Amino acid sequence: MTTGPVGTNVYVLGDVRTQEAIAIDCATPSVRWLTQQLGDQGWNLRMIVSTHRHWDHIGDNAEAVIATGATLAVHAADRHGLEEPDADSAPFAIPPSHPALELAEGSKIRFGEITLTVLHTPGHTEGSVCLMSDEERVLLSGDTLFAGAWGRTDLPGGDAEAMVDSLSRLATLEDGLTVLPGHGPQTNIGREKPWLSMVAQDRKLPF
């Protein structure tokens, strides 16, 4: 689902065999859609993952946790942004949410028979993460990587040098990996590799 003032992508992934699922980036508004999708599929939501702390990705976290009973997870470096949202940056009030689980580089998120590996990819924020499934050949990239672009580094928590490191890391992934970003259309690593490789070689963002 794409929702909210800046078109945030909200994802629900489920294992059809075990009916276990996770949600990624509960933007406002998304709870009604989320619960409808879960009900239609007969899925049980185990976890809500915030790829980073910015308001456009966390607005419905608190309500979604209440509605589903799922565990909320975020990287430790971005935890404070969920517990004390930046009121000045959002166009509406963002309720605080309280992660029960802190993610870190190499953490494994398991639901049913599906496993996602956490890649810590700072640059957009200190605690930005991507989630990768080798078996499903999918990368959920949050606001680190978009189709033809990357997440801004001039917002709270941004760091251009860290973004160069993160994009350089993503340039080493396999071409066939489907990329599901936090905004905009899906892409794949092979399509993005020419400019990602340039970032890795030049050690700077293209512009």
Task: Give me the residue spans of the domains in the chain.
Answer: 2-202
Alpha helix stretches (DSSP H) within the chain:
31-41, 55-58, 61-68, 79-83, 160-170, 189-202
Mean pLDDT for the stretch of residues 179-184: 98
Nearest to 27 by CA among 11, 46, 45, 43: 11
- CATH T-level topology, domain 2-202: Metallo-beta-lactamase; Chain A (3.60.15)
Percent of the chain with pLDDT over 90: 98
Which tens digits make up the pLDDT trace of 4-51? 999 999 999 999 999 999 999 999 999 999 999 999 999 999 999 999
pLDDT higher than 90, residue 68 = yes
Q: What are the tokens at 103? A: 């993610």
Q: What are the tokens at 95? A: 């309720």
- Rounded to the nearest integer, the mean pLDDT of the chain is 97
Give CA separation, 179 vs 48, 184, 187, in Å: 19, 11, 5
Give the pLDDT score at 157. 95
CB 158 within 8 A of CB 198: no
Say how many C-beta atoms besides its own lie within 10 A of residue 96's C-beta.
Answer: 12
Q: How far apart are CA 84 and CA 96, in angstroms?
A: 6
pLDDT higher than 90, residue 128 = yes
